[in-house]
Structure 1
């Protein structure tokens, strides 16, 4: 069904938060887009990625060093996704659309498709966050991982707090070899029509995937003094690390104790405003950690990102104080875990609790 959010309480929360954020940028004279620090950070991750890839192809190291370089490349790929691709695909990196398109194309470095991502993430996930049947991002491994009390119970889920993390690490491999294809050709993503793709996107999907397979499988096989199985181990290790980093950051923002998974009222939709829904389904972690902010691309401040996705994440520390105070003023929840590990523990406890029914 077409889902609508109904502001039944006539809350002024979001308009007030937006006015305060607009006032902050006006008073400081800052642009809501990238500043010098953001460009420096983007350069660091992109240069690091290129350097690691170049060192691998240089064929100057033994197998164990090559494995370490592959793991490092997987981590840098995830950090580019967080810090460069994500902001650009939201139109938050620059006021110039061509700059956002160019930097959004860094998503191809992960073997992922920017066009499909903008549908599944920008449109569906950001609109219908944590709503079963609509937000497919919470369908981590259907039938294997249970994150909502309304989901069916399977006997093996009593062990999910142990095996879930291994499944998260498969996220990147799934993305490269199946997820983009499946999402592209599904008639619906959630309840969103997904049948009218421009012709060029069909070509781009297959051409970009072929290019990724060439640069990360065929070319290394041709130039490196490694057996095919050693190359395969390096490729898989790179993606397992990348997938685990990507998976954990998402889970710690939406699947922790306190976040809700609201079920729409039939024929009536969600009985609260969209912004209030975001406050109930999203959580921050390590909001005062400069390290988390640097590597996670501001996604540790997921609340601010969901409310203001077109603001570059470099400004989220300032927005955090504004949003938190506004939530307090309107008696709304503001969910946060003080550190990465406290959020990880909260996610673990939630998995264990939801698996206990099995």
Structure 2
């Protein structure tokens, strides 16, 4: 285990940007938590997901229609994760913790484990963004996909920019059947987070909610639908591929695009930067000017604001983005952004292609 350390913020950047953002909320008498727009989004995506699920269980559609509904269900499940669960699990949805806990628990019904997520994402990823062997999000498909210049290079990765997107789609299948179990029972997540012990209730939650998910998406459909096993498998896999691809692309486009850095700590575990500047160097926005992109991605296309202010509900990110960008410029710090989802996707493709041929970066 190796605990990393960042430099003390002597520049005053974080204090300044925080003061300005706080002033925006107080001067406009606005809460940092969810508002009516956020509640509408939650009802829309949760209601849409539940409706699609019931439509499939009704069995009133042709096989092609059922397949389309299954793909839509997978996409809506990802959007629920972005727009509802992500904020709730960060504690930014509501000032009432029971509301955050209730909405965060929906994550279990998407096949994921909230306890693992809070450790690997909220704690490890947000603290050590893009730091090799510390940021758990850099582990995509070991040996097959290289997203970090310090990663070991293999011969098959020479073609990763072509097959990576298929593997992104398979991420959901891996998550619901393998990833959560592996993460829960391994001794650490990254090099800095010891996970050798867990509260007893988390053992129960892991297996209970996984069993519930398997029942809802596998056993129950097979029990009530007049379809063959192979027809179910096709629909189930397509649903998971759709969910995995949406999840994978949105998260990759925030940290694995051109101009972003992958800092290395020195031998003492010190990263020669302040934490907030580190976030600006390792994170990028995309499509922040598109209301559709922002609506669907739950503010995850505005990762800069999210990483600096994770306790602020994403519905407010468009309003505070200008404050963060202007303050970064005043302090000579970068503010990376791609104009659209398409330009970010092209940038990610170029990074994958570059890393497919680039020698391994020597570690200090």
TM class by shorter-chain length? over 0.9
Q: Following the alignment from structure 2 to structure 1, what is the Cα–Cα distance between the partners of residues 148 and 196?
A: 29
Match of 1:328 in 2: 329
Deviation at 1:12, TM superposition (A): 1.1
Deviation at 1:251, TM superposition (A): 0.6
Match of 1:162 in 2: 162
SS in 2 for 1:271: strand
Deviation at 1:195, TM superposition (A): 1.9
Q: Identify which range, 101-110 or 141-150, moves more after superposition.
A: 141-150
Match of 1:343 in 2: 344
Match of 2:104 in 1: 104
Residues 1:54 and 2:54 aligned together: yes
SS in 2 for 1:272: strand
Q: Following the alignment from structure 2 to structure 1, what is the Cα–Cα distance between the partners of residues 127 and 152?
A: 25
Q: Following the alignment from structure 1 to structure 2, what is the Cα–Cα distance between the partners of residues 75 and 202?
A: 29
Q: In the alignment, is the contact (CA less than 8 A) between 1:5 and 1:270 conserved in 2?
A: yes
Alignment of structure 1 residues 285-304 onto 2, 5 Å:
285-304=286-305
Q: In the alignment, is the contact (CA less than 8 A) between 2:138 and 2:148 conserved in 1?
A: no
Residues 1:224 and 2:225 aligned together: yes
Residues 1:276 and 2:282 aligned together: no
**Could you list the per-position Cα deviations for residues 248-304 of structure 1 after superposition, in whole angstroms to 9, with x for gaps in the alignment?**
001100000011111111104111111000000000000100001100000000000
Gapped regions of structure 1 (runs ≥ 5) = none
**Could you list the per-position Cα deviations for residues 70-125 of structure 1 after superposition, in whole angstroms to 9, with x for gaps in the alignment?**
00000100000000000000000000000000000110121001111001100000
Residues 1:22 and 2:22 aligned together: yes
Q: TM-score, normalised by structure 1?
A: 0.98
Q: In the alignment, is the contact (CA less than 8 A) between 1:256 and 1:347 conserved in 2?
A: yes
Match of 1:6 in 2: 7
Deviation at 1:152, TM superposition (A): 2.0
Q: Following the alignment from structure 1 to structure 2, what is the Cα–Cα distance between the partners of residues 283 and 245?
A: 18
Aligned residues: 357
Match of 2:134 in 1: 134
Q: Following the alignment from structure 2 to structure 1, what is the Cα–Cα distance between the partners of residues 235 and 16?
A: 50
Match of 2:121 in 1: 121
Runs of 4+ in 1 over 3 A off after TM superposition: none
Match of 1:248 in 2: 249
Deviation at 1:10, TM superposition (A): 2.0
Deviation at 1:150, TM superposition (A): 2.0
Match of 2:63 in 1: 63
Q: In the alignment, is the contact (CA less than 8 A) between 1:113 and 1:180 conserved in 2?
A: yes
> 1:199–1:25: structure 2 CA closer, same or farther, 3 Å change rule?
same
Q: In the alignment, is the contact (CA less than 8 A) between 2:149 and 2:358 conserved in 1?
A: no
Q: Following the alignment from structure 2 to structure 1, what is the Cα–Cα distance between the partners of residues 213 and 84?
A: 19
SS in 1 for 2:302: helix
Q: In the alignment, is the contact (CA less than 8 A) between 1:77 and 1:109 conserved in 2?
A: no
Deviation at 1:143, TM superposition (A): 1.1
SS in 2 for 1:299: coil
Deviation at 1:144, TM superposition (A): 1.0
Q: Identify which range, 224-233 or 265-274, moves more after superposition.
A: 265-274
Q: TM-score, normalised by structure 2?
A: 0.97
Alignment of structure 1 residues 297-316 onto 2, 5 Å:
297-316=298-317
Match of 1:214 in 2: 215
Match of 2:202 in 1: 201
Q: In the alignment, is the contact (CA less than 8 A) between 2:3 and 2:269 conserved in 1?
A: no
Q: Identify which range, 245-254 or 192-201, moves more after superposition.
A: 192-201
Deviation at 1:149, TM superposition (A): 2.1
Q: Following the alignment from structure 1 to structure 2, what is the Cα–Cα distance between the partners of residues 261 and 170?
A: 25
Q: In the alignment, is the contact (CA less than 8 A) between 1:173 and 1:243 conserved in 2?
A: yes
Q: Following the alignment from structure 1 to structure 2, what is the Cα–Cα distance between the partners of residues 103 and 129?
A: 26
Gapped regions of structure 2 (runs ≥ 5) = 360-364
Deviation at 1:151, TM superposition (A): 1.9
Instruction: Give RMSD over aligned pairs.
Output: 0.9
